[in-house]
Structures are given as C-alpha cells and as structure tokens.
Amino acid sequence: MSTTSDFIHHYEPATDATRPPLLLLHGTGGDETDLLPVGRIVAPGAALLSPRGQVLERGMPRFFRRLAEGVFDEADLRARTDDLAAFIRDAQQRHGLAPLVAVGFSNGANIAAALLLRHPGLLRGAALLRAMVPFADAPAGPLKGTPVLLLSGLMDPIVPAENSRALATQLQGAGASVTHRDLPAGHGLSQQDLSLVRDWVAAL
C-alpha cells in the first residue's frame, strides 16, 4: 500500500504482460483491497491498480460526495473525477503502464463512468457493475468505440432499471461500444458478473 497524488492505493505488478492492466474502483465502504480478488479472477496475471476513495461518508470511503441516496453532488464528482484522472496518469508514468481497463463496482462504477465521459481516451475500456448515470448533463466526450461492459441487477434496490438504460444510451451517444446485460441479481456481485467480466476482458 502506498500513496501517490494523495490517493492511498495498492499496486500489483503484472506477471502476464499480455493482459491489460486493471483499475479497480471499490464501492461505498470499501477500500483499496476490496476488488483485488475480483481483479485476479477476471484477469489473472494483470497489473492491478486499486485506489481508495478520498471522501468519507459516516466513516465509509467513497470516491465522491452525494446529497442523498442516488443523488450525486455533481460539482464534487467533477473535481474528484479530475483528481482520479491525474492519479491514473501519474501511476501510468510511474509504473510504465499501458492504458488501463477500469473495473468498478457501485460508487466505483459511477466514477469510472464519469472518467469515461469527462476524460475520453484515458481508459482503454470499463466494466461498470451496478452503475448509475453520473452527470445530469454529461460531457460530450468522443469515446470512439471505447468498449464498455455494463452489468445491471434486475432486483437491484439501489439502481433503477431506467437509470441503467439511460447510462447505456448516454455512453453510446458519446461513441462508446456498449454491451449492457441485465442479470438476475441484486446490487451485490454474483458469479455471473465475474464470468462475464472475465470473458469481456479476455476479448479486448
């Protein structure tokens, strides 16, 4: 565990240079270790970069503030997204990393979607697990076919189905190549999520 650009994070070097490096972005209450097992399952041997969110909500780390459940502080989201983008660029230079593929869950998926829209070209792609629309008025970034896997839970009590569909539409409108799957799951991750992300990463 180390700190770069004020982000506490975990970095795991690659043991398989053919795998794209992964950016792992945890959900509310998680930390830089939460998604390491996921990263190792979906891309064995890949380099893993996993930062901890800098915002605390009742003691729980998050990547940006919210005003209520499902209501984001968009000014804070924009600033935090820019900070995360700077951290990613710094880490890429420091570790000699190719463009990263984000794997984000819940709050981490939301800021991954914000990275795609606000910093097009920074990420090679993104797997967004239980994500919501990050910006009411999204930046019109040219995503130029950037691959995105969006996995939603049909029984998710936090993310409405129409919100997931709106995010898919928003990303497609920005030029991303979006694969959207609705899974028989709630807000938590399932074995099907892991299998789908693993196959998607392998096909990049």
Instruction: Respond yes or no: is residue 106 known to be catalytic.
Output: yes
Find out whether 25 and 51 touch, Cβ atoms under 8 Å: yes
Annotated active-site residue in 10, 156, 164, 193: 156
What span, in angstroms and rounded, lies between the C-alpha atoms of 62 and 64?
A: 6
Go through 149-161 and write b for each residue having 16 or more CB atoms within 10 A of its CB, e for each that does not: bbbbbeebeebee
**What are the DSSP calls for 76-99, one per residue?**
HHHHHHHHHHHHHHHHHHHHTPPP
Annotated active-site residue in 5, 73, 182, 187: 187
Annotated active-site residue in 50, 106, 152, 164: 106
Instruction: Respond yes or no: is residue 180 known to be catalytic.
Output: no
Residue type, 82: D
Instruction: Respond yes or no: is residue 2 known to be catalytic.
Output: no
Cite the active site residues: 106, 156, 187
